[in-house]
């Protein structure tokens, strides 16, 4: 089974959406045995907190539950435990590459979320501090990318 880690700054907005949407996609397509997702943040600001209510609402509107998710910070051990680690924006990827240098074992593939999905070097915007429309827009961006990411990871 392939393992993928989605990473944003606080692990309460974008990466929980990606985790929930990816796992939902895999289950709905009957391929949950092929890959699973987790999420984390580059900062420790929200460790132990559930996803942001805006992300929970945006996911729920798409029929996806983020129940049971809690924020955690990326750990050096993640680079050995995951096959692919995707940052939601270029700053996340830079932070991941710095942390990867500290990992004594394991070299997960690190990339930008939308780049891995074949959509180029574009950031997924951070909806933090914005209204519901921003969370809905981010959910749509992530939702369009997830099938390509799943196909690339399991293909």
Q: What is the pLDDT of residues 37-77, one digit of tens each?
A: 999 999 999 999 999 999 999 999 999 999 999 999 999 99
Q: Give CA–CA dist 93/83, Å, rounded.
A: 15
Which residue carries 């809905």 as its tokens?
Answer: 136
Q: Give CA–CA dist 62/100, Å, rounded.
A: 34
Q: Quick check: 102 pLDDT over 90?
A: no
Q: Nearest 10 degrees: CA dihedral of 19, 42, 125, 31? A: -20
Q: Please name every residue paired with 36 in a beta bridge, in sequence order, or none if there are none.
A: 3
Q: Which residues are catalytic?
A: 8, 14, 126
Assess contact for 12 and 51: CB atoms under 8 A: yes
The number of helix segments (H) and strand segments (E) in the chain equals 6, 4
Q: What is the pLDDT of residues 104-137, one digit of tens each?
A: 777 899 999 999 999 999 999 999 999 999 999 9
Q: Give CA–CA dist 4/1, Å, rounded.
A: 10
Query: With b meaning 16 or more CB within 10 Å and e meaning fewer, what string describes 47-72?
Result: eeebbbebbbebbeeeebebeebebb
**Domains of the chain as residue ranges with CATH:** 2-154 (3.40.50.2300)
Q: How confident is the model at residue 18, as a pLDDT? A: 99
Q: Give CA–CA dist 32/21, Å, rounded.
A: 12
Q: How confident is the model at residue 103, as a pLDDT? A: 81
Count other Cβ atoms within 10 Å, centred on residue 34.
14
Mean pLDDT along residues 72-99: 97
């Amino acid at each position: 089974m392939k393992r993928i880690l989605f990473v944003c700054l606080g692990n309460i907005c974008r990466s929980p959406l990606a985790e929930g949407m990816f796992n939902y996609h895999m289950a709905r397509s009957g391929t949950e045995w092929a890959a699973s997702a987790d999420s984390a943040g580059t900062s420790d600001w929200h460790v132990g907190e559930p996803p942001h209510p805006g992300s929970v609402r945006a996911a729920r509107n798409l029929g996806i539950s983020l129940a049971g998710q809690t924020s955690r910070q990326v750990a050096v051990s993640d680079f050995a435990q995951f096959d692919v680690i995707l940052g939601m924006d270029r700053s996340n990827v830079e932070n991941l590459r710095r942390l990867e240098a500290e990992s004594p074992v394991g070299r997960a593939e690190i990339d930008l979320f939308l780049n891995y999905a074949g959509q180029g070097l574009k950031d997924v915007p951070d909806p933090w501090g914005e209204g519901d429309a921003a969370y809905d827009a981010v959910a749509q961006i992530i939702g369009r990318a997830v099938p390509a990411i799943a196909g690339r990871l399991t293909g």
